[in-house]
Structure 1
Amino acid sequence: MRPGPDPTIDPASADDVHDCAHEAEPVPLPPVPVVEAAGELLRALSAPLRIGIVLQLREGPRCVHELVDALGVAQPLVSQHLRVLKTSKVVAAHRQGREIRYELIDDHLLSIVEAAVVHAAEDRP
Protein backbone atom coordinates (compact mmCIF):
# COMPACT_ATOMS: atom_id res chain seq x y z
CA MET A 1 0.00 0.00 0.00
CA ARG A 2 1.36 3.40 -0.95
CA PRO A 3 1.46 6.02 1.77
CA GLY A 4 -0.72 9.03 1.20
CA PRO A 5 0.41 12.62 1.31
CA ASP A 6 2.00 13.82 4.53
CA PRO A 7 -0.93 15.30 6.52
CA THR A 8 1.44 17.65 8.36
CA ILE A 9 2.35 19.53 5.18
CA ASP A 10 -0.20 21.76 3.52
CA PRO A 11 0.13 20.97 -0.21
CA ALA A 12 -0.43 24.63 -1.06
CA SER A 13 2.59 25.66 1.00
CA ALA A 14 4.81 22.60 0.40
CA ASP A 15 7.03 24.60 -1.94
CA ASP A 16 7.60 27.18 0.79
CA VAL A 17 8.96 24.67 3.31
CA HIS A 18 12.65 25.30 4.01
CA ASP A 19 13.44 23.22 7.05
CA CYS A 20 16.99 22.31 6.00
CA ALA A 21 19.63 23.70 8.32
CA HIS A 22 21.95 24.06 5.34
CA GLU A 23 20.94 24.37 1.72
CA ALA A 24 23.11 21.98 -0.29
CA GLU A 25 24.67 23.25 -3.46
CA PRO A 26 23.33 21.59 -6.60
CA VAL A 27 25.58 18.88 -7.97
CA PRO A 28 26.69 19.54 -11.54
CA LEU A 29 25.17 17.06 -13.97
CA PRO A 30 26.76 15.60 -17.08
CA PRO A 31 25.56 17.02 -20.40
CA VAL A 32 21.98 16.10 -21.34
CA PRO A 33 23.02 13.67 -24.13
CA VAL A 34 25.15 11.72 -21.63
CA VAL A 35 22.28 11.50 -19.13
CA GLU A 36 19.91 10.42 -21.92
CA ALA A 37 22.37 7.73 -23.06
CA ALA A 38 22.63 6.48 -19.47
CA GLY A 39 18.84 6.26 -19.33
CA GLU A 40 18.81 4.23 -22.54
CA LEU A 41 21.37 1.82 -21.11
CA LEU A 42 19.36 1.36 -17.94
CA ARG A 43 16.20 0.77 -20.00
CA ALA A 44 18.06 -1.88 -22.01
CA LEU A 45 18.99 -3.62 -18.76
CA SER A 46 15.53 -3.31 -17.20
CA ALA A 47 13.99 -6.62 -18.30
CA PRO A 48 14.54 -9.62 -16.01
CA LEU A 49 15.49 -11.85 -18.95
CA ARG A 50 18.09 -9.34 -20.13
CA ILE A 51 19.52 -9.27 -16.61
CA GLY A 52 19.74 -13.06 -16.79
CA ILE A 53 21.52 -12.86 -20.14
CA VAL A 54 24.06 -10.38 -18.78
CA LEU A 55 24.69 -12.60 -15.76
CA GLN A 56 25.22 -15.62 -18.04
CA LEU A 57 27.66 -13.68 -20.20
CA ARG A 58 29.82 -12.68 -17.22
CA GLU A 59 31.51 -16.08 -17.51
CA GLY A 60 32.38 -15.48 -21.15
CA PRO A 61 30.87 -15.58 -24.64
CA ARG A 62 27.80 -17.75 -25.23
CA CYS A 63 25.78 -18.74 -28.26
CA VAL A 64 22.00 -18.51 -28.33
CA HIS A 65 21.37 -22.19 -27.61
CA GLU A 66 23.59 -22.02 -24.50
CA LEU A 67 21.57 -19.05 -23.26
CA VAL A 68 18.29 -20.82 -24.06
CA ASP A 69 19.40 -23.86 -22.03
CA ALA A 70 20.70 -21.77 -19.12
CA LEU A 71 17.66 -19.49 -18.92
CA GLY A 72 14.96 -22.03 -19.75
CA VAL A 73 13.10 -19.86 -22.25
CA ALA A 74 12.33 -20.14 -25.95
CA GLN A 75 14.99 -19.30 -28.53
CA PRO A 76 12.96 -16.53 -30.24
CA LEU A 77 12.56 -14.75 -26.90
CA VAL A 78 16.30 -14.94 -26.15
CA SER A 79 17.08 -13.67 -29.66
CA GLN A 80 14.66 -10.76 -29.24
CA HIS A 81 16.30 -9.70 -25.98
CA LEU A 82 19.80 -10.15 -27.41
CA ARG A 83 18.79 -7.78 -30.21
CA VAL A 84 17.87 -5.11 -27.64
CA LEU A 85 21.15 -5.62 -25.79
CA LYS A 86 23.12 -5.51 -29.04
CA THR A 87 21.36 -2.34 -30.24
CA SER A 88 22.12 -0.70 -26.88
CA LYS A 89 25.78 -1.74 -27.15
CA VAL A 90 25.60 -3.94 -24.06
CA VAL A 91 26.63 -7.06 -25.99
CA ALA A 92 28.54 -7.72 -29.19
CA ALA A 93 28.03 -10.63 -31.58
CA HIS A 94 30.91 -12.51 -33.19
CA ARG A 95 30.61 -15.28 -35.75
CA GLN A 96 32.59 -18.38 -34.84
CA GLY A 97 32.14 -20.99 -37.54
CA ARG A 98 28.42 -21.60 -37.89
CA GLU A 99 27.59 -20.05 -34.52
CA ILE A 100 27.18 -16.47 -33.40
CA ARG A 101 28.61 -15.94 -29.94
CA TYR A 102 27.54 -13.03 -27.76
CA GLU A 103 29.73 -11.32 -25.20
CA LEU A 104 29.56 -8.32 -22.91
CA ILE A 105 31.15 -5.22 -24.35
CA ASP A 106 31.98 -3.57 -21.04
CA ASP A 107 32.36 -4.86 -17.49
CA HIS A 108 30.95 -1.57 -16.14
CA LEU A 109 27.47 -2.69 -17.18
CA LEU A 110 28.01 -6.08 -15.54
CA SER A 111 28.88 -4.25 -12.31
CA ILE A 112 25.61 -2.31 -12.51
CA VAL A 113 23.59 -5.50 -13.00
CA GLU A 114 25.42 -7.36 -10.22
CA ALA A 115 24.95 -4.43 -7.83
CA ALA A 116 21.22 -4.29 -8.64
CA VAL A 117 20.86 -8.04 -8.04
CA VAL A 118 22.73 -7.83 -4.72
CA HIS A 119 20.60 -4.86 -3.67
CA ALA A 120 17.37 -6.66 -4.61
CA ALA A 121 18.47 -9.75 -2.67
CA GLU A 122 19.07 -7.64 0.45
CA ASP A 123 15.38 -6.68 0.49
CA ARG A 124 14.27 -10.33 0.48
CA PRO A 125 13.74 -12.36 3.66
Structure 2
Amino acid sequence: DSANFDEYMKAIGIGFAMRQIGSVTKPTLIISAEGDHVTLKTTSTFKNMEWNFTLGEEFDETTADERKTKSTFTVDGDKLVQVQRWEGKETTISRAVSGDSMVATCSIGDVVCA
Protein backbone atom coordinates (compact mmCIF):
# COMPACT_ATOMS: atom_id res chain seq x y z
CA ASP A 1 0.00 0.00 0.00
CA SER A 2 1.29 3.43 -0.91
CA ALA A 3 1.22 6.27 1.57
CA ASN A 4 -0.31 9.46 0.16
CA PHE A 5 -1.46 7.82 -3.11
CA ASP A 6 -4.92 9.42 -3.00
CA GLU A 7 -3.36 12.89 -2.54
CA TYR A 8 -1.02 12.20 -5.45
CA MET A 9 -3.93 11.11 -7.69
CA LYS A 10 -5.85 14.28 -6.72
CA ALA A 11 -2.81 16.43 -7.55
CA ILE A 12 -2.51 14.99 -11.07
CA GLY A 13 -6.22 15.59 -11.68
CA ILE A 14 -7.79 12.16 -11.29
CA GLY A 15 -11.48 12.29 -10.34
CA PHE A 16 -13.09 10.57 -7.35
CA ALA A 17 -14.32 7.41 -9.13
CA MET A 18 -10.99 6.72 -10.83
CA ARG A 19 -9.15 7.35 -7.53
CA GLN A 20 -11.31 4.69 -5.87
CA ILE A 21 -10.37 2.21 -8.60
CA GLY A 22 -6.72 3.27 -8.47
CA SER A 23 -6.51 2.83 -4.72
CA VAL A 24 -7.50 -0.86 -4.88
CA THR A 25 -5.87 -1.88 -8.17
CA LYS A 26 -2.70 -3.94 -7.74
CA PRO A 27 -1.13 -4.23 -11.21
CA THR A 28 1.51 -6.71 -12.28
CA LEU A 29 4.40 -4.98 -14.04
CA ILE A 30 6.64 -6.69 -16.59
CA ILE A 31 9.70 -4.83 -17.87
CA SER A 32 11.85 -6.14 -20.70
CA ALA A 33 14.74 -4.42 -22.42
CA GLU A 34 16.93 -4.89 -25.45
CA GLY A 35 19.64 -2.27 -25.37
CA ASP A 36 17.94 1.12 -24.90
CA HIS A 37 14.56 -0.13 -26.18
CA VAL A 38 12.19 -1.02 -23.34
CA THR A 39 8.77 -2.64 -23.20
CA LEU A 40 6.74 -2.04 -20.05
CA LYS A 41 3.50 -3.99 -19.57
CA THR A 42 0.99 -3.68 -16.75
CA THR A 43 -1.86 -6.07 -16.20
CA SER A 44 -4.66 -5.69 -13.67
CA THR A 45 -8.34 -6.40 -13.19
CA PHE A 46 -8.99 -2.78 -14.25
CA LYS A 47 -6.91 -2.30 -17.40
CA ASN A 48 -3.96 -3.76 -19.30
CA MET A 49 -1.44 -1.34 -20.76
CA GLU A 50 1.76 -1.61 -22.81
CA TRP A 51 4.40 1.00 -23.62
CA ASN A 52 7.31 0.62 -26.02
CA PHE A 53 9.94 3.31 -25.82
CA THR A 54 13.62 4.16 -26.11
CA LEU A 55 15.39 5.37 -22.98
CA GLY A 56 15.95 9.13 -23.03
CA GLU A 57 13.51 9.78 -25.91
CA GLU A 58 10.20 11.57 -25.34
CA PHE A 59 7.08 9.82 -26.62
CA ASP A 60 3.30 10.30 -26.56
CA GLU A 61 1.62 8.33 -23.77
CA THR A 62 -2.04 7.82 -22.95
CA THR A 63 -2.23 6.95 -19.26
CA ALA A 64 -4.64 4.48 -17.62
CA ASP A 65 -6.80 7.47 -16.60
CA GLU A 66 -6.76 8.74 -20.23
CA ARG A 67 -4.38 11.70 -19.76
CA LYS A 68 -2.38 12.50 -22.91
CA THR A 69 1.20 13.07 -21.77
CA LYS A 70 4.70 13.46 -23.16
CA SER A 71 6.78 10.89 -21.30
CA THR A 72 10.49 10.22 -21.02
CA PHE A 73 12.10 7.25 -19.26
CA THR A 74 15.70 7.20 -18.04
CA VAL A 75 17.75 4.95 -15.77
CA ASP A 76 19.23 6.41 -12.57
CA GLY A 77 21.30 3.77 -10.78
CA ASP A 78 18.89 0.90 -10.05
CA LYS A 79 15.78 3.00 -10.76
CA LEU A 80 13.67 3.40 -13.89
CA VAL A 81 12.59 7.06 -13.81
CA GLN A 82 9.61 8.36 -15.79
CA VAL A 83 8.77 12.03 -16.27
CA GLN A 84 5.28 12.84 -17.61
CA ARG A 85 4.37 16.32 -18.88
CA TRP A 86 0.88 17.51 -19.80
CA GLU A 87 -1.15 20.73 -19.63
CA GLY A 88 1.65 22.61 -17.86
CA LYS A 89 2.04 19.89 -15.21
CA GLU A 90 4.92 17.52 -14.58
CA THR A 91 5.13 14.36 -12.48
CA THR A 92 8.01 12.00 -11.81
CA ILE A 93 7.59 8.27 -11.16
CA SER A 94 10.65 6.38 -9.96
CA ARG A 95 10.46 2.57 -9.98
CA ALA A 96 12.90 0.17 -8.30
CA VAL A 97 12.75 -3.59 -7.84
CA SER A 98 13.15 -4.96 -4.33
CA GLY A 99 13.06 -8.76 -4.22
CA ASP A 100 9.97 -9.79 -6.16
CA SER A 101 8.22 -6.42 -5.66
CA MET A 102 8.44 -3.06 -7.31
CA VAL A 103 8.63 0.09 -5.23
CA ALA A 104 7.35 3.24 -6.94
CA THR A 105 7.79 6.79 -5.71
CA CYS A 106 5.53 9.36 -7.41
CA SER A 107 5.79 13.12 -7.05
CA ILE A 108 4.13 16.24 -8.39
CA GLY A 109 4.98 19.58 -6.83
CA ASP A 110 5.27 19.02 -3.07
CA VAL A 111 3.03 15.91 -3.08
CA VAL A 112 5.04 12.69 -2.77
CA CYS A 113 3.67 9.16 -2.69
CA ALA A 114 5.93 6.26 -1.75
TM-score relative to the length of structure 1:
0.22
- More strand per residue: 1 or 2? 2
TM-score normalized with structure 2 length: 0.23
Q: Which has the larger radius of gyration?
A: 1
Higher helix share: 1
